[in-house]
Amino acid sequence: MVTAVRRMLPVVGLVAVLLLIWEGSKVLFGISDQRLPHLGDIVTTMFTRTQGGNGPLLLVQMLINAWATLRVAMGGFFIGGLLGFGLALLFMRMPILERGLMPYVIGSQTVPILAIAPMVVVGLGRMGAEPWVAKIFVAAYLTFFPVTIGMLRGLRSASPQSLDLMRSYAASSLQTFWKLRLPASLPYLFASLKIAASASVIGAIVAELPSGSSEGIGVMILNAAQFYNSRPPALYLAILVAGLIGVVFYGLVALAERLIVKR
Amino acid sequence: MDTPIIEFERVSKIYQGGAGPVTALHDVTLRIAAGEFIALIGPSGCGKSTLMRLIGDLEQPSNGTVRIKAKTPDQARRDRDYGIVFQSPVLYDWRTIRKNVELPLEIMGRPKDQRRQRAMELLKLVGLGDFGDAYPHQLSGGMQQRASIARALSFAPSILLMDEPFGALDEITRERLQLELLSIWWEAEPRPTVIFVTHSIPEAVFLADRVVVMSPRPGRVQRVVEVNLARPRAFETREDPQFFALVTEVRECLRATETAG
Amino acid sequence: MQATTVSTPAVRSTDQVAKWFHILWPPVLTFLVAIALWEGAVWLFEIPIYLLPAPSQIMATFLERPWFLLGIGMVTFSNALMGSAIGCSLGVLVAIFCVRWTFVADGLLPLAVAASAVPIIALSPLMGIWLGSVSAASKIGVIAVMTFFPTLVSVYAGLISPRADALLLMRSYAAPQRDVFLKLRMPAALPFLFNALRVCATLSMIGAVVAEFFGGPRNALGVYIKTQAGILRTREAWSAIMVACLYGLIFYLVIVLIERWVMPWKQRHSGQ
């Protein structure tokens, strides 16, 4: 506990210094509120009402939209994660399949899904799919690749000696999987899940950018940017919340790792 | 004894561990003459590596004084009195073998052609004359360790500190390198003082003028065994009855430390 | 003892060709098969063109106006290049600071790791407001931030990677700090630096395209893709994406080439 506080101290210190620079540079260089609002203004903006004073608090609205984005990211993460996990198992069991399909798995990443996200959204929308389908597709696409690669590497990480040991016990391949390969692969799996968590949030946000989307933090960012002149702090708040979504999701995966992988 | 090059005067080393202080070395007094070959032997935890690291100024004593050529170890290090060989070769993998041997000379600011000539000389001496342009990963473990010996000798240090240098090698390579090390040391001009840490009793006896037997908890010098085998030593030395007698003596000595501890 | 097997230059060059052929043919074949499958699937299942055009259509669209597409690709690519140049150099500089003054590292590195979880692309509109939404500067700014953090984390890990033995060796030579840095830490960090650069090469080109989704000059890839996709001219959008991939690939390959040239000792490792 004490060590955790001691480790956080320099981080908190640095953040404090950065915030000081923020306010200090406003004073020193005379940066207008229009370009760089006061930190206090960003806080007070959270508690202003939306829709001309009749809607919910801005912070509440932001969080509702953040939840919409996080939901999409989690959905895609879940589907992509399962797919990646399944592919890795399949590839480990059947090396023939790996030799045949792995190049396509790797090749799939040469298509920059983020760049084609607008087309996926518009195209799938035209086919009559719900908007969330395309968003989840993008997030899942970004998730499955790191998970496949990480999990496969993890499943292969058991040392030859430990495999020989299992063999000497005449352990079945299922036993070898549960007692050796799976536990050995967990650190690798979680390393890739953490990468995937951030990627799926980015995917969800970018998939919200094409015109026509109605909810999500990406939409909030676009709106706040459009009406920046009337209320600058809102954009800062939206970006802050977007960052928060990434950190929260990453944190959840890291927490799951803590609970599952006991070292 | 001649004027000692290394002097330990009632030296102790205490580490502050998580479970209270640990005495790694207790009240060691030892004198080593210039040009001597000293082997340090003992079970793990007896402080033999600590002793070596105190000489090399890689650590500082808690009590007592260490003198190197009547100087502090720190001063001796600044005067470049030490060549070090670790258990792993610690060659920089982005440098060719020759450039690795040149490294200390570069740091000491020697001119380029002199560096190069000296490195080639030493590589020939350790039998790596043809491998100057190879990268470390292209050499076997034994060859890498030879290169690291050449690097340690490149600036002709007066003291050579060797921390289980052959510990990671197979027995056959090991015996060959022991012989090579002796001939390199014997022919080196000026002949360095060698402090050689080892786990192997025959290795200690075969190489050293004196074997310092150490005992653990707390680490201290148990006995110093004089090795009166003729030099230069050869392959046949290992078959000499006197060699066996000395090996047995050191072994008995080590067993006594066990029963005592 | 590979070093003893010295081969004549002639033998070596044919060896080299055979080796490259051996490395290259599976991916090339896979690529061709994938293109054929894609083409076949589009015709066979009559996939609507607004969803996924066939490779032949994309190529044909590209060939209608190759110079236009390569030109707007260059605009976006130069942003990616400038941004990563700035972000990566700053990353290296700050990493060096972190090694010299460890309290900076204690504060900054946890933040830099956290930054990898943050969708930095969301900064785009803000950069647009600070530096002008259609200006190149705002895109360069986003890419710089995007590449700064991974470079910092990776290069710092490289600079502190030398093991205790290697540092003690330097100590035994009474080497000055400058030598420890130039002869040990820097070369040890090079493989880490190039890992980061390769990641950044991929990241920055896609990042530059996506940053333009938030707004940018009309003659840039991202804006072109977004507007064409918006009016369901998918072939045009896909041909622009092809151009983005091309530039990204070139960027990546240039980094790999520099890497081979700068780190000759690694080259023979990967020669298998």
Domain regions of chain B by residue span: 4-81+159-260, 90-156
Query: How much of chain B exceeds pLDDT 70, in percent?
Result: 98
Asked if residue C31 and residue C76 are part of one domain, the reply reads: no
Nearest CA in chain C to B107: C175
CA distance A201 to A194: 11
Looking at residue A80, its pLDDT comes to 94
Let me know: does C41 contact B177? Beta carbons within 8 Å.
no
Looking at residue C270, its pLDDT comes to 40
Nearest CA in chain B to C170: B104
Residue range C68-104, pLDDT digits in tens: 999 999 999 999 999 999 999 999 999 999 998 888 8
Asked if residue C230 and residue C159 are part of one domain, the reply reads: yes
Q: Give B138→chain C minimum CA distance, Å.
A: 6
**Which stretches of chain A score pLDDT less than 50?**
none
Residue range A13-67, pLDDT digits in tens: 888 999 999 888 888 888 888 888 888 888 888 888 877 777 788 888 899 999 9
Q: Is the pLDDT of residue C242 over 70?
A: yes
**Kind and range of the H or E element at B7?**
strand B4-17
Let me know: does C38 contact C51? Beta carbons within 8 Å.
no
Confidence grade of residue C106 (pLDDT, cut at 50, 70, 90): confident
Query: What is the residue type of A226?
Result: Q
Best mutation site among B72, B84, B94, B101 for testing chain C: the one with the most C CBs within 10 Å? B94
Q: How far is CA B16 from CA B1, B51, C61, C217, in A?
A: 37, 17, 73, 64
Looking at residue A132, its pLDDT comes to 85
Asked if residue C250 and residue C122 are part of one domain, the reply reads: yes
Let me know: does C71 contact C157? Beta carbons within 8 Å.
no
Looking at residue A208, its pLDDT comes to 87
Question: Per-residue pLDDT averaged across C59-74, rounded?
Answer: 92
Looking at residue C13, its pLDDT comes to 63
Structure tokens at B179: 């012989």
CB contact under 8 A, C169 and B95: no
The CATH number given to A45-260 is 1.10.3720.10
Question: Per-residue pLDDT averaged across B34-60, rounded?
Answer: 90
Number of structural domains (chain C) is 2
CATH code (residue C157): 1.10.3720.10
Query: How much of chain C exceeds pLDDT 90, in percent?
Result: 40
Q: Give C263→chain B minimum CA distance, Å.
A: 7
- CA angle B152-B153-B159, nearest 5°? 85
Tokens 């950065």 locate to A18
Question: Per-residue pLDDT averaged across C128-141, rounded?
Answer: 88
Asked if residue C71 and residue C41 are part of one domain, the reply reads: no
Residue range C181-206, pLDDT digits in tens: 999 999 999 999 999 998 898 889 98
Asked if residue C145 and residue C82 are part of one domain, the reply reads: yes
Asked if residue C10 and residue C63 are part of one domain, the reply reads: no
The pTM (predicted TM-score) of the whole model is: 0.84
> Which residues in B44-125 belong to E strands, given as ranges?
63-68, 82-85
CA distance C264 to C187: 12
Asked if residue C99 and residue C76 are part of one domain, the reply reads: yes
Looking at residue A67, its pLDDT comes to 94
Looking at residue C9, its pLDDT comes to 45
What residues in C contact B58, CB-CB < 8 Å?
A: 168, 171-172
CA distance B255 to A220: 78
**Residue ranges in C45-65 assigned as alpha helix (H):** 55-64
Residue range C9-52, pLDDT digits in tens: 445 567 778 877 777 777 778 778 888 988 999 899 888 887 78
CA distance A234 to A46: 8
Going by beta carbons, is chain B in contact with chain C, meaning 3 or more pairs sit under 8 Å apart? Answer: yes
Asked if residue C122 and residue C39 are part of one domain, the reply reads: no
Asked if residue C3 and residue C68 are part of one domain, the reply reads: no
Class for domain B4-81+159-260, per CATH?
A: alpha beta
Q: Is the pLDDT of residue B18 over 80?
A: no
Q: Does A110 touch chain C (CB under 8 A)?
A: yes
Domain coverage including residue C126: 54-271
Q: Where are the domains of chain A?
A: 1-31, 45-260
Q: Does B93 touch chain C (CB under 8 A)?
A: yes
